[in-house]
Structure 1
Amino acid sequence: MELKNKFMLYLKGIAMGAADAVPGVSGGTIAFISGIYEELIDSIRSFNITGLKLLKSLDFKGFWEHINGLFLIILFAGIATSILFFSRIILYCLVHYPEMLWAFFFGLIIASALVVGKKISQWNSKIIFSSIAGIFAGYYITIAVPAQTPETLSFIFFSGMIAICAMILPGISGSFILVLLSKYEYVFTAVKDFNMAVIITFGSGCVIGLLSFSHLLNWTLKRFHDLTIAMLTGLMIGSLNKVWPWKEVLKTYTNHKGQIKPLIEQNILPASYFEITGRESYVFYALALAAAGFLLVWFLEKLTIEYPDKS
């Protein structure tokens, strides 16, 4: 892999980490936009029996090549960098300028759906049905009401499996899934308090979920490429409901810091936003940032074409 390709892959990792820092936005969306999604899934899937045999025989070079190690370590280095250095900026904007931040991601996801949809080679009735099913699934997830769930280790393990699967799906946020399962604050508090039983259980669920789900995704992409892409495109379109910039809070919850956070919201028009919420709608800035998000996707696509990733 050439140096410029390594740098581009690192930047894509940074973008994925930044997206994962925002509830409702998935790093999988960025992976799809930037043209590395299928390689990422295939690389994760490579942690299989063949890989274990290579490790057992102490063939570390063969194992590294088998799992596409250079690709994974550069990408995850970018994700880690983003989470460490840029997530606070994004979370600050989420608190103080949510309208503009959500507008940016709204434009980004619209463009993403168009880019991903272009990968479908031929449209037919099955493809259309798959995309519509994806739209309804993505929309339903954004309006689902968080449920009361147990705090047993078995359910924590299950929560890790489901959340990590959502994180690698374009359009679905793993953190939002944890909110739906009423485990976002619980897991966050466990990390803060170094509750190793919960951390290890949740992490184990993430590992198992990631490895098993990546095999399923890889299989569907290989066998039913257009149907899978159509479904993922629909998921992104359906998730737009979550990132609509102007919302009215219907129900709140108190986090572990005693802060009141929105739990259930409904979309409203910018014209009535100030009257209902008392906040400025920032329509002009929101439109400008939505356009910027759209153009960023276009720019990333052009860079992907110019600098394709080469193992």
Structure 2
Amino acid sequence: MNLVEIAKSRYPAVVLRGMAMGAADVVPGVSGGTIAFITGIYRELLDSLSQIGPRCIPLLKNEGVVALWKYINGSFLLSLFAGILISIFSLARLISGLLSDYPIVVWSFFFGLVLASSVPVLRKIPRWSPSVFVFLLLGALLAVTVSELRPGDIPATPLTLFFSGALAICAMVLPGISGAFILLLIGIYPKVLTAVHELQITSLFCFAAGATVGLILFSRLLSWLIHKYVARTLAFLAGILLGSLKILWPWKLPMEGEVAMSSKLAPLQANTSPAKFVVQSGEESYLGMAVIAALAAILLVLAVDFFAAAHRGKSCATPQ
């Protein structure tokens, strides 16, 4: 495929989706899986990742690299993860700066983003039944329970880094629960950042190995569930999205008996009202900007969903 063919293909758009996922993953509390859901590539992502496994070895040996690449949807995965890496290395500093200087506005944008993204997910549920409602409530309960957990402090050994990587990537794949937020809860987040900044190769390898294993295994499980029990699985994921709004509420204060934390750790603080935030913190609530940011995010999600639906309808109407 030459440059002109690449430009005309779907893969530049996949790269942009990957960049959006990477930008979300930079923020502890926001999941890249949410962005995958919003942009309509969640199921394809799970299906592609679930193809990676033991069957790849005989396929590579008997049919070659091209057949293997097609089997795992390699061009899609390469484009997506290239976008994620581009975003992490190019936008991480910008997003971290915005989160530090305008935390309420940033959290409001992501609050609107997640709130609106639950609408197309709920609409995709093919049928409703009492069990579907139960799974919706279970998903919301899981997210709220996670938000109530208090930070721990586990040591950064090769084994704990491996399992931390696996746990974080599983959370990252789920829309609504951030892998970085889970790392904060178990107390490993600062240690992973230190390993990145100091290039601690052994620690990074253990963490990456755990993330790789977790991604392959968990994506296979989710892909199977979303095909076998589509209504219940979508309801459960929608519940997680709605429950995670508690984590993303913009106005927060330190919990009783605890000192103020960095805005990057805002999901670990207690929710409050804008008025109470002003009184107790002495800082501005940025209520107007927060509402504008949330509405902008809602309109963005609804526009993406509208154009994606229109594109699907056009594709279905095109003669084969």
Q: Which bin holds the TM-score, normalised by the shorter protein?
A: over 0.9
Residue in structure 1 matched with residue 236 of structure 2 by the alignment: 231
User: Among residues 279, 285, 290, which one is paired with 2:283 in the alignment?
Assistant: 279
Residue in structure 1 matched with residue 82 of structure 2 by the alignment: 77
Q: Within 5 Å, which residues of 2 pair with 1:1-311?
A: 3=8, 5-57=10-62, 59-250=64-255, 251-252=258-259, 264-307=268-311
Structure 2 CA distance for aligned equivalents of residues 192 and 146 of structure 1: 22
Please tell me the residue identity of whatever aligns with 1:140. Answer: T
Return the TM-score normalized by structure 1: 0.93
Compute the displacement of 1:148 (Å). 2.7
Compute the displacement of 1:113 (Å). 0.7
Q: Is contact 2:34–2:176 with CA below 8 Å preserved after alignment?
A: yes
Report the identity percentage: 40
Structure 2 CA distance for aligned equivalents of residues 164 and 260 of structure 1: 19
Compute the displacement of 1:183 (Å). 0.4
- Cα distance, 1:200–1:254 mapped onto 2, change above 3 Å: farther
Structure 2 CA distance for aligned equivalents of residues 74 and 34 of structure 1: 15
Compute the displacement of 1:58 (Å). 6.3
Report SS of the residue matched to 1:101: helix
Q: Is contact 1:29–1:171 with CA below 8 Å preserved after alignment?
A: yes
Q: Cα deviation per residue 1:225-268 (whole Å; 9 max; x = unaligned)?
A: 1111111100011110111111102235889xxx9965741111
Structure 1 CA distance for aligned equivalents of residues 70 and 245 of structure 2: 38
Please tell me the residue identity of whatever aligns with 1:67. Answer: I
Report SS of the residue matched to 2:269: strand
Report SS of the residue matched to 1:24: coil
Q: Is contact 1:106–1:240 with CA below 8 Å preserved after alignment?
A: yes
Report SS of the residue matched to 2:246: coil
Structure 2 CA distance for aligned equivalents of residues 102 and 69 of structure 1: 34
- Cα distance, 1:79–1:283 mapped onto 2, change above 3 Å: same
Report SS of the residue matched to 1:242: helix
Please tell me the residue identity of whatever aligns with 2:214. Answer: G
Give the alignment's Cα RMSD to 1 decimal: 2.0
Task: Give 5+ residue unaligned stretches, structure 2.
Answer: 1-5, 316-320
Q: Is contact 1:252–1:262 with CA below 8 Å preserved after alignment?
A: no
Q: Is contact 2:30–2:178 with CA below 8 Å preserved after alignment?
A: yes
Please tell me the residue identity of whatever aligns with 2:179. Answer: G
Structure 2 CA distance for aligned equivalents of residues 51 and 203 of structure 1: 21
Compute the displacement of 1:79 (Å). 1.2
Q: Is contact 1:120–1:226 with CA below 8 Å preserved after alignment?
A: yes
Report SS of the residue matched to 2:124: coil
- Cα distance, 1:285–1:300 mapped onto 2, change above 3 Å: same
Return the TM-score normalized by structure 2: 0.90
Please tell me the residue identity of whatever aligns with 1:291. Answer: L
Task: Give 5+ residue unaligned stretches, structure 1.
Answer: none
Structure 2 CA distance for aligned equivalents of residues 171 and 260 of structure 1: 17
Please tell me the residue identity of whatever aligns with 1:272. Answer: K
Q: Is contact 1:252–1:264 with CA below 8 Å preserved after alignment?
A: no
Structure 2 CA distance for aligned equivalents of residues 212 and 91 of structure 1: 31
- Cα distance, 1:252–1:31 mapped onto 2, change above 3 Å: farther
Compute the displacement of 1:130 (Å). 0.4
